[in-house]
Structure 1
């Protein structure tokens, strides 16, 4: 790959200085899993949002699934729509609590509840364990919606990166099992397709933050086998699904310099062809994770676009 730094939105360059440029392998997992690795800021005005720990029973004898519930302070007695959030981390890192500043802000500005799930991580727990954890938490949320004062008809799912990949796969699994429904799926630069590891590389994508070597490690850890081969089930890599019809409305976004740009564009196109109401946003000069920047115009726009879409769909429209 030729250098693509000249294509980065200038307002994002300082973020690259804060984010270590590494190719992930097993020796770096402690670094990836360390608290505070991603610069998300501190919790502001904690009194405005209530936080509660929840636990859902795992499926088929799996361990219990920890979750965090956030609601606007003073909302007791009000039935709210809910975002079921799945954190990113390449399938090998991340934690629900790491995103607490983001979650609290979303709950406050959107006026909704938010439940964030702590699924087990690969390689210690490969597919299907993490996805089944996400399903177990969502099933429990639906079953207990009344006591949690959540509207089960307005529960949607959101995830970023590997969390977006899990969210897309979860939408497929919910559709196919038919135990309950979800209102929407919001996929932020989702990690959808293991075949990106073996495809012709995009010469202008994937230099920063999450590169092809890290991608191969993440997929190999999650799949328990080399990515890109035959026989990978669609619930492991949603882009492998042959039929996308009947999925809930979708929002996808990615930056032009993100390693996942090609797979995200292809998945959005397939959703549209399957008749799924789909909104797609592509942000010039954005690399993987660019939206965590607090002030860059491209980041502010991307977060505003995602929030505006959520506002509409949380209302049921």
Structure 2
């Protein structure tokens, strides 16, 4: 074979996500475009990882702040474009609303616990941030103004992404809805001795049997004085993830001098079950205001 010539195997492979053409954008709401199924990483023996992008109309070609959204689903199921059961019937949807407020949104896949164990999902989110930085000029993004926003298991991963080091710009803030913060201690229905919980499936075994691994996967253990601002919102009646997770993380961050705002919601179970629709909208609006405020500060605008 002639030196320098591509092999058939190389030619038939899809272009690498770092250089693959972006898909065409579709208008999904007034002033908002969406790009669906954009590949951002390849994992050996696994499905390609993709993200969806909601982009504001940006005629001035300004670099836009960004929300990296992380879906829930107990680390074993879920869809990247789902902010939870109480937002599924919104029209326009939550991501279009964020984009209409001038903030781009990337909703990223991550490997689920049936595909790979921790820290694989966290590595995947770091890969998404890396890709977004690499393609930022094409997409008019300022990844230096990224807020990571997650719900439930996605809130857990969002917290870890905000609290642990990685290459490239770190998130400037985190919005965490009812996310687990501590995998080492029994809380509510969670028993770290069990090998069948979602947490055990995430880690590949009972957390109590691997305490160092459980600690590594616990946002509470990674709180530090230089942490970015956190908005933690949790239902006081949560029957799946005890409200003490958010209370303890907020307390620990505050003790270390890191900015944290905790809001506990009376009458709310997991996923905002039990709340009137207007209360869910108000929680979303508060989270969006926090996001815009933090990205303005990071840009030196406020």
TM-score (norm 1): 0.73
Match of 1:193 in 2: 182
Q: CA deviation at 1:46?
A: 3.4
Task: Determine if contact 1:88/1:164 at 8 Å carries over to the other structure.
Answer: yes
After superposition, the C-alpha distances for 1:2-52 in whole angstroms (9 at most, x for unaligned) are xxxxxxxxxxxxxxxxxxxxxxxxxxxxxxxxxxxxxxxxxx963542111
Closer, same or farther: CA 218–190 of 1 in aligned 2, 3 Å: same
Match of 1:15 in 2: none
Residue number among 193, 209, 212 corresponding to 1:231 in the alignment = 212
Match of 2:96 in 1: 104
Which protein is richer in helix relative to its size? 1
Corresponding position: 1:299 with 2:280:
yes
Corresponding position: 1:217 with 2:197:
yes
1:109-188 maps to which residues of 2 (within 5 A)?
Answer: 110-173=101-164, 176-188=165-177
Question: More deviation in 56-65 or 231-240?
Answer: 56-65
After superposition, the C-alpha distances for 1:74-108 in whole angstroms (9 at most, x for unaligned) are 55723211101111111111111344832122222
Match of 1:280 in 2: 262
Task: Determine if contact 1:59/1:132 at 8 Å carries over to the other structure.
Answer: no
Aligned CA RMSD, in angstroms, stands at 2.9
Closer, same or farther: CA 180–153 of 1 in aligned 2, 3 Å: closer
Q: CA deviation at 1:299?
A: 2.1
Q: SS of the counterpart of 1:88? A: coil
Closer, same or farther: CA 60–250 of 1 in aligned 2, 3 Å: farther
Match of 1:46 in 2: 29
Question: How many angstroms apart in 1 are the aligned matches of 2:51 and 2:195?
Answer: 26
Q: Which runs of 5+ in 1 are unaligned?
A: 1-43
Q: CA deviation at 1:61?
A: 8.9
Question: How many angstroms apart in 1 are the aligned matches of 2:45 and 2:295?
Answer: 33
Question: How many angstroms apart in 2 are the aligned matches of 1:50 and 1:56?
Answer: 19
Closer, same or farther: CA 312–62 of 1 in aligned 2, 3 Å: same
TM-score (norm 2): 0.76
Q: SS of the counterpart of 1:124? A: coil
Q: CA deviation at 1:238?
A: 1.4
Q: Which runs of 5+ in 2 are unaligned?
A: 1-26
Which structure is richer in relative contact order (CA contacts within 8 A, separation 6 or more)? 1
Q: CA deviation at 1:133?
A: 0.7
Match of 1:263 in 2: 245
Q: CA deviation at 1:68?
A: 0.8
Match of 1:289 in 2: 271
Which has the greater radius of gyration?
2
1:79-98 maps to which residues of 2 (within 5 A)?
Answer: 79-98=63-82
Question: How many angstroms apart in 2 are the aligned matches of 1:97 and 1:251?
Answer: 21
Q: How many residues align?
A: 259
